[in-house]
A and B are shown apart, each in its own frame.
Chain A
Amino acid sequence: MSTSDLDAVIVGSGPGGSTAADVLTAAGWTVVIVEKGRNHLIDLDDPHRLMADYSNDELKFMSRWFLGPDPLLEPRTFRRDDSAGDRDHIGEVNNLPSSVGGAGTHADGKLPRLREEDFHPLSAHGPVEGAALADWPVQYDKLEPYYAEAERLIGVSGEAGANPFEPWRSGPYPMPPGPAMYGATLSGPAAEKLGLHPYPAPTGVNTVPYDGRPACNNCGFCAFYGCPIHAKGDPVAPLQRALLSGRATLMPETFVSRVNVRDGRATGIDFQGPDGVTHTMAARHVVLAAGAMETPRLLLLSGFDHPLIGRHLMFHFQTLVMGGFPFRVHPHRGRAVTHLHDDHLVPDQAARRAAKDAGLPWFRGGMVEHCGPAGPVMESKIYPWGPGHKDSMRASPLRDRMWGFTMQGEDLPQPVNRVDLDPSVRDVRGFPVARTTYRPHRFEQAASAHYAPVLQAVLDEMGAEWTIVTTSPDPEATGSYGDFISPIPNSKHVMGTVRMGDDPATSVVDRWGRFHDVPNLMVADSSVFVTSAGYGPTLTLVTLALRNARALAEAG
């Protein structure tokens, strides 16, 4: 294909980029998808065939960066705030996979929708000092049809009506829920007894054969693993459709170093392929879907100077409440998380009082995942060495007899939390790496402190012998930055950094994800999120990519 005929180049092959590719090729566009990492997902010679590289292998996925990026080649840097100097840490900072399929390959596929009020939190709840809270320029009612389409495209299982807090839906989930993990069969009733409302997690994993892919067989290697049998639908389904259209070309192992702009129009990209030589590719449109850290990095490398690029970086503030039980829970069987509850997203009287006591006008938490740890390699490293090691592993208090909750708490957007270019640390190709400056707001910490005892009470009701509460990030943690608990957030939900809005002074892209001043440059990842809500971002970013790419195609 001659690149002069190219309608769009898409940077990133994750859920956002793959969805954009599917929509644009369905509209007759010719696209190139450029992916920095390797291809372990789909046979590029015959896209009907999915590859056989993923496996139930804890070393490969948890210790050896199989999905990339390798921190020796592509480090990131971190600091808590500007007073820390250039950086506190060089290495891994919330890395998402950088192989074909992006973060969709390693996610455990929880795909909830945001609720109606999540699109107008400022109007619904009012401002919070120190946070740049704002309403989204698009509201749920307009997005609902695209949410429904995204669920069908990926193949989401769930049970409509099971969650009393769910937003309105135009129809059922494409598939019924799968089997509940044993731990969830215990934590669910315990939560209900305390007045909470657990429900089957909307999950982008097949529970019946769907779209030519098999039903999940519950192997348990789900979160952080690629699926060996391709029962996960995200982003396999849209990527496969795009490639099968014959109008999409996927270029793995290709790093985009610059978006070229002339006279207010994007003209294409500069990229380095496996040969390490820099090339230029021309295209009528450029779509960025490299994730909420790499997208602003690319913009800054390209010389974009909007003062809000990189700002309002958000994660989810994780509250980890775990309990030890006198019986085994086998949390390694099943799809990592099969149940959620949303009660802590809807402040009750006690939460309003606690917010007031904390000097806040309001707060709320996030979706709560009922979950347990899975792998024995990770577990074994926690216990001390010596004669007690095997007694610990046999008893397994930190894996096979552990169950609990992760609350993905809403993280308010703060202008000071940001991604920029590190002043001196470079990647393997010689480009400045992304530097994160991040410290949580009191909002999420106060919400965490309020809801953690509620979750501990559920574990007590379930029969826990002990419970423990930790948070990620822990801004005051004094251990190593390589530790699980450190000032660096562990949540892989990364959002903000290229904010969407109607006012060019307070946002970088418009309500269609296009740059205010470069209209043929669009963002199709979670960078555009205005707020983080308290839900996993993937279904929403796919929904926005569907809507915005379709509008782009219609506009021509």
Chain B
Amino acid sequence: MPVFFTDDEYAVVDAACAMLIPTDDDPGATEARVVDYIDGLLGAFSFDPPRIWAGGPFSGRHGGAHGFVRFHRLTPLDELAWRTRIEGSRGRPEREINGPVVGLQERYRAGVAALGPDFAAVTDEERRARLERTPEFTALLYEHACEGMYGAPEYGGNQGLVGWRYIGYEGDVQPRGYTDEEVERA
């Protein structure tokens, strides 16, 4: 259940991410649930604490407690910055320190609309053409798709660690770390 996107928008973003990081012999953006990473970022303030910074010091994947799942609380200034970044300034003076800021939510709403409500139903060729016709939004989407594919799974993407596993990357390794031999040898 998306926290920011409508079901239709969610389907469009999911399909667009599948074009950016496709599934082949290995899982892609679809299996990693990259769309959930993006939905979680745009809807970060639907959670308490907001899903901006995962906790520390360990994820529990290599020992220790599951600290990543306890997101950090934000200070009022942190919240001001991230609400401005995500929601935009919307004419509020405290968010327009040096002028209006267009938020990620608005950029996504416009970008998804430009891709078209039927985006998930059209051919791959047509999807590619539409993504290429909206280069600015596609660049934003790709940046977030990469974060969702290869970032820590606590942010919503990289489910099952598929992004790390197919490239042979261990991800976070504390508190185990690497042995001297693992550092020094091939």
Residue in chain B with minimal CB distance to A54? B56
| Interchain CB contact under 8 A, A389 and B20 | yes
Determine whether A194 belongs to the interface, using a CB cutoff of 8 Å to chain B: no
| Interchain CB contact under 8 A, B186 and A394 | no
Determine whether A280 belongs to the interface, using a CB cutoff of 8 Å to chain B: no
Determine whether A55 belongs to the interface, using a CB cutoff of 8 Å to chain B: yes
Which residues in A have their C-beta under 8 angstroms from that of B85? Answer: 72
Residue in chain B with minimal CB distance to A50? B57
Determine whether B155 belongs to the interface, using a CB cutoff of 8 Å to chain A: yes
With A182-B183, A381-B142, A428-B80 known as contacts, the answer to whether A393 contacts B58 (CB < 8 A) is no
| Interchain CB contact under 8 A, B149 and A380 | yes
| Interchain CB contact under 8 A, B151 and A428 | no
Q: How far is the CA of A428 from the CA of B150 in the complex (A)?
A: 32
Determine whether A390 belongs to the interface, using a CB cutoff of 8 Å to chain B: yes
Q: How far is the CA of A332 from the CA of B164 in the complex (A)?
A: 13
With A390-B24, A428-B97 known as contacts, the answer to whether A333 contacts B178 (CB < 8 A) is yes
| Interchain CB contact under 8 A, A381 and B146 | yes
Residue in chain A with minimal CB distance to B138? A385
Determine whether B43 belongs to the interface, using a CB cutoff of 8 Å to chain A: no
With A56-B174, A217-B176, A228-B174 known as contacts, the answer to whether A180 contacts B184 (CB < 8 A) is yes
Which residues in A have their C-beta under 8 angstroms from that of B180? Answer: 178-179, 218
How many residues of chain B have a CB within 8 Å of chain A? 64
* Set A53, A72, A220: member contacting B178, Cβ < 8 A: A220
How many residues of chain A have a CB within 8 Å of chain B? 58
Determine whether A377 belongs to the interface, using a CB cutoff of 8 Å to chain B: yes
With A218-B183, A377-B150, A425-B98 known as contacts, the answer to whether A57 contacts B68 (CB < 8 A) is yes
Determine whether A52 belongs to the interface, using a CB cutoff of 8 Å to chain B: yes
The minimal Cβ–Cβ distance linking A333 to chain B, given in whole angstroms, is: 5
| Interchain CB contact under 8 A, B57 and A58 | no
| Interchain CB contact under 8 A, B167 and A393 | yes
| Interchain CB contact under 8 A, A385 and B174 | no
| Interchain CB contact under 8 A, A72 and B97 | yes
Q: How far is the CA of A241 from the CA of B3 in the complex (A)?
A: 46
| Interchain CB contact under 8 A, A179 and B149 | no
Which residues in B have their C-beta under 8 angstroms from that of A381? Answer: 142-143, 146
**Proximity bits, A303-340, B CB within 8 Å = 1, else 0:** 00000000000000000000000011000111000000
| Interchain CB contact under 8 A, A217 and B101 | no
Q: How far is the CA of A327 from the CA of B186 in the complex (A)?
A: 9
Q: How far is the CA of A389 from the CA of B174 in the complex (A)?
A: 28
> Which of B84, B138, B178, B182 is most buried by chain A, counting CB atoms within 10 A of its CB?
B178
Which residues in B have their C-beta under 8 angstroms from that of A75? Answer: 98
Q: How far is the CA of A427 from the CA of B80 in the complex (A)?
A: 13
* Set A179, A394, A427: member contacting B167, Cβ < 8 A: A394
**Proximity bits, A51-92, B CB within 8 Å = 1, else 0:** 011111111100111100010110100000000000000100
Determine whether A386 belongs to the interface, using a CB cutoff of 8 Å to chain B: yes
Determine whether A426 belongs to the interface, using a CB cutoff of 8 Å to chain B: yes
Q: How far is the CA of A63 from the CA of B81 in the complex (A)?
A: 14
* Set A72, A182, A219, A386: member contacting B173, Cβ < 8 A: A219
Residue in chain A with minimal CB distance to B20? A385
Which residues in A have their C-beta under 8 angstroms from that of B21? Answer: 385, 389-390
17 contacts between A and B (CB under 8 A): A38-B75, A53-B56, A53-B72, A58-B151, A59-B155, A60-B53, A90-B98, A180-B184, A219-B173, A221-B174, A229-B174, A274-B75, A376-B163, A380-B149, A385-B142, A389-B22, A426-B97
